[in-house]
Chain A
Amino acid sequence: MTAKQDNLILAFESSADETSAAVVKNGHEILSNIVATQIASHQRFGGIVPEVASRHHLEWINRVTKEALQEASITNPAAQLSAVAATYGPGLVGSLLIGLMAGKTFAMVHGLPFIAVNHLAGHISAANFVQPTSYPAMAVMVSGGHTELLWMAKENSFQIIGTTLDDAAGEAFDKVGRILGLNYPAGKEMQEMAAKGQANIHFPIAHTENTFDFSFSGLKSSVLNYVHHADQLSEQINKNDVAASFQKAVVEAIIEKTEAAIQVFQPVQLLLGGGVAANLALRTAIEHLAQTYHLKLTEAPISLAGDNAAMIGAAAYLNFKAGRFSGLDLNTDPSLNFSRM
């Protein structure tokens, strides 16, 4: 057998309601990225039901695995793959378990090394599919479960600058969406409504003790109060205006904290990732901010902003290079996070 020219990693992701397997080459090229989504199932309940999510993951895991291998033309995993990776946290424990057990078992059967990946590092590493990152960098991670400003002094090093004290940004979108009578998840529809409306209502942003931390639950409450107040007076509200005003407040909060952190930490590069990174208003605002401060910017492609295994493969490659492997006894860590700066 000839030496492996390329590094091929099979990666698994199942931390929330997407079951995904992917094959990534040299950390930055996607050979396959199969994603099965359970959104239609959880829409029945208005949000993710963990036990249901876990059952779905188990039913789909073999199928996405086989499709990912087939699409990447992997016929002999032991010979063609360099390693197997899976998300081990943060996320829903029952969901994480399926991808983690599948990844560890695959590694055991084919005698491959196993790499455990932090889901947040995965989101940030989606940038590697666009271009290499320059350091020191600062990452803005916004999703349904997380809102974080992260410091990256060097490759594969992450420290928390700021985080949300209550709701994540994506969670706030879903909650306000519900107030406006939208289906879960509401991010995409909120964005469409916001584009048709005027940001003419003032929804205040909460002050946080640490300048770089976020808080979105007060914002959600003020939208709720606004809608209730109009209800009591039997006034019609313009939902598009509410969506536009809410979105503006969220984007402003993220930009304000990010700008403050840029001034203090002075990165050379910005990274934008996470499910909410698909929001165009946020993308435009981050692009403007990067321009103002002459920073290099990498935004996760919209198609890779949500949860997927390719980003886990990209992050796993960094661990592979650093020689960070895990044993078959590794457990999930649902509340896994980086340490504060």
Chain B
Amino acid sequence: MKILSIDTSGSSLNVGLLDSSTGLFFAHEHTKDEARTHSMKILPAIQALMTKAGWSFDQLDRIALTAGPGSFTGLRIGAAVAKMIAGQTFAELVPVSTLEMIALSARLSATDPNTTSYLPMINARNHNVFAAICRPGKPLDDEGHWPFTDFLSKAPKNSIFVFEQGTGDDFKAEIQTAGLKFIEQPSEKLIDAKLLAQQGLSAARADADSFAPRYLRKTAAEMAWLKKHPDAGDGDYAKYVSEV
């Protein structure tokens, strides 16, 4: 299977091409200035890798995409690209949780045999986090947008937090007080493009045309509106947009 992996959920641009039958893998090489430039860098990166591999877009079988949570704008850039490629070729869109990829990528380099579960975490400001409990080989637990303290109270014994370097300073003291450990990953190591492509082999496919990222958080305007309109349901997006 020929798989393109795309992750733009964080500050690094992660793009890779994997041929699962030969094991051939090409990755976009990180540059120092790529944070917050995904909209400019992602397509030239994909095009360069396709040329290097000698593939045409019609040969792609799957696109593995980190579906969220993460930077809302970042998620949309990757999703817009993945949706359009999938919509215009034979490739299937295969979304994977960003948090799961953070956990699995950390496991690649972890050496502690006692670790049973990973707690991938993205700082969502105001002492809130996007986080989940990942026991490798099992479905994610408690994936959501949490006040950090609430999430911490759910952390299993011997679990280890994983977050991007420089984003977890507000939480370190609480983690240590709770007797837990953490791994700080450099941006470019937070999500492994090859592992993402490999996850794409087994993960469930999604309908590319209707796909939306897993933001895990409504906008402030919608939350305020829903408070005033408790009977409005869970905000089914589709019904608010119509063709003219």
Residues of chain A whose beta carbon lies under 8 Å from any beta carbon of chain B: 19, 34-38, 40-41, 44-45, 49, 51-52, 54-56, 58-67, 77, 94, 97-98, 100-102, 104-106, 108-110, 327-332
Contact = CB atoms under 8 A, between A and B. Distances in A.
Interface string B51-92: 000000100000000000000110011011101110111000
Contacts of B83: 58, 61-62, 102
Nearest to B42: A101
B24 interface: no
Nearest to B88: A109
B238 A332 contact: no
Given A34-B243, A51-B72, A51-B219, A58 B212 contact: yes
Given A62-B84, A330-B40, A109 B89 contact: yes
B80 A102 contact: yes
Interface centre among A37, A58, A60 (most CB of B within 10 A): A58
Q: Which 10 A-B pairs have the closest CB atoms?
A: A41-B240, A328-B43, A101-B80, A105-B84, A62-B209, A49-B221, A62-B87, A51-B219, A329-B40, A109-B57
- Interface of chain A, main secondary structure: helix
Contacts of B213: 58
A55 B72 CA distance: 9
Given A97-B39, A329-B43, A109 B79 contact: no
B43 A105 contact: yes
B222 interface: yes
Contacts of B238: 59
A97 B221 contact: no
A94 B73 contact: yes
Interface of B: 37, 39-41, 43-44, 46-47, 57, 72-73, 76-77, 79-81, 83-85, 87-89, 208-210, 212-213, 215, 219, 221-222, 225, 229, 237-244
A11 to B, nearest CB: 15
A54 to B, nearest CB: 6
Nearest to B221: A49
A110 B87 CA distance: 12
B84 A61 contact: yes
A36 B242 contact: yes
A59 B210 CA distance: 6
A44 B229 CA distance: 10
A41 B225 CA distance: 11
A160 to B, nearest CB: 27
Given A105-B43, A328-B47, A59 B237 contact: yes
B212 A62 contact: no
Given A44-B221, A102-B83, A102-B84, 13 more contacts: A35-B244, A49-B219, A54-B76, A61-B84, A62-B87, A63-B210, A101-B84, A105-B84, A108-B46, A108-B57, A329-B41, A329-B43, A332-B39
11 contacts: A36-B241, A41-B237, A41-B240, A45-B221, A62-B209, A63-B210, A94-B76, A101-B39, A101-B80, A108-B47, A109-B85
Contact of A77 (B88, B225, B241, B242): B88
Contacts of A37: 241-244
B87 A66 contact: yes
Nearest to A99: B80
A56 B240 contact: yes
Nearest to A18: B244
B209 A97 contact: no
A63 B77 CA distance: 17
A211 B77 CA distance: 43
A66 B83 CA distance: 12
Given A44-B225, A59-B210, A38 B43 contact: no
A110 B43 CA distance: 13
A83 to B, nearest CB: 16
A38 B219 contact: no
Contacts of B37: 331
Nearest to B50: A108
A94 B75 CA distance: 11
Contacts of A34: 243
